[in-house]
């Protein structure tokens, strides 16, 4: 069962949809994740998404990741440890959930909390290099302990943005290109810089309050057709009327997206021939 925190991370807007380990789409995956062939996963990481999502360029997944519907990833994006909500725009070259090296520890080196850094070397078998209370070369007592980064709904990250592990970016935020986000950002903030600082709010406070109440990202683009997007106040009013009239949220549930296997040339030829025959 997905907790309230996980619902927020995954952009489900509190609808409680489940990430089902049994629902995998290797054959018709392009119907759920356009560009799924560009996904690279390490350490058995799972990519769980509410379809549809779009992947423009190489996307590297280093830990289990939940992504909400209608989110788009630019080229060469790396998710080290993060969950992303709905209607996200993740700029090219961005890194989500990056580990920050500890500056107040004995060292800034990762050896203190990641045994694999040097555990492959024979020196790891030397008694003096191994914590006597740990399990040989595979475990060290040092740990960072941060939660994954949480990227809210309707968030735009410019090119080459870095979001540190444990940071929460609120719904509706815009982060300028090249920013390094080291602290939480409140909803509907515009932030820039290194480290990123809030410049201002995107919209008036009363409009932000209404949009957060409505959680408009619960709905699909087709359900929002005809909404006056260029006027956020009028858009909120129109969405509110539709909700009051019984508009049901789009809730496809999460599916595991796996990288499709390219068919053999002969198989592609046979498929093309079948299409021509009608």
Active site residues: 101
242: part of which helix (H) or strand (E)?
helix 232-244
Structure tokens at 53: 């999502």
Q: Which residues of 23-43 are buried (b: 16+ CB within 10 A; e: fewer)?
A: eebeeebeebbbbbebbebee
The DSSP call for residue 178 is T
- Cβ 213 vs Cβ 236: under 8 Å: no
> Cβ of 186: how many Cβ atoms within 10 Å?
15
Query: Rounded to an integer, what distance in angstroms lies between the CA atom of residue 89 and that of residue 177?
Result: 12
> What is the token pair recorded at 126?
């030397």
Please report, for residues 125, 151, 162, 171, 257, the alpha-carbon distance to residue 45 in angstroms, rounded to integers and kept in the order given: 28, 18, 20, 25, 11
Exposure string (b/e) for 235-272, b if CB count within 10 Å is 16 or more? bbebbeebbeeeeebbeeebbbbbebeeeeeeeeeeee
- Please report, for residues 89, 123, 193, the alpha-carbon distance to residue 56 in angstroms, rounded to integers and kept in the order given: 11, 42, 26
State both tokens at 190: 């515009």
């Amino acid at each position: 069962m997905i907790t309230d925190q996980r619902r927020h991370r995954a952009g489900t807007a509190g609808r409680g949809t489940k990430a089902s380990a049994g629902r995998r789409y290797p054959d018709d995956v392009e119907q759920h994740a356009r560009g799924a062939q560009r996904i690279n996963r390490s350490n058995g990481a799972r990519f769980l998404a509410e379809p549809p999502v779009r992947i423009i360029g190489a996307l590297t997944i280093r830990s289990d990741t939940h992504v909400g519907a209608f989110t788009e990833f630019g080229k060469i994006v790396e998710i080290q440890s993060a969950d992303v909500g709905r209607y996200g725009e993740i700029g090219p070259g961005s890194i989500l959930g990056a580990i920050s090296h500890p500056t107040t520890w004995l060292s800034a080196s990762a050896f203190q909390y990641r045994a694999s850094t040097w555990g492959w070397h024979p020196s790891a078998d030397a008694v003096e290099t191994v914590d006597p209370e740990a399990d040989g070369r595979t475990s060290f007592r040092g740990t960072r302990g941060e939660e994954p980064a949480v990227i809210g709904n309707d968030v735009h990250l410019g090119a080459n943005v870095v979001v540190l592990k444990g940071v929460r970016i609120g719904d509706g935020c815009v982060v300028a290109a090249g920013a390094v986000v080291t602290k939480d950002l409140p909803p509907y903030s515009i932030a820039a810089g290194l480290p990123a600082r809030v410049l201002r709010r995107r919209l008036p406070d009363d409009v932000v309050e209404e949009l957060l109440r409505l959680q408009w990202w619960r709905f699909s683009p087709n359900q929002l057709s005809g909404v006056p997007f260029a006027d956020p106040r009028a858009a909120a009013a129109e969405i509110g009327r539709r909700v009051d009239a019984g508009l049901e949220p789009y809730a496809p549930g999460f599916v595991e997206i796996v990288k499709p296997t390219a068919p053999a040339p002969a198989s592609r030829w046979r498929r093309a021939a079948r299409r021509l025959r009608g």
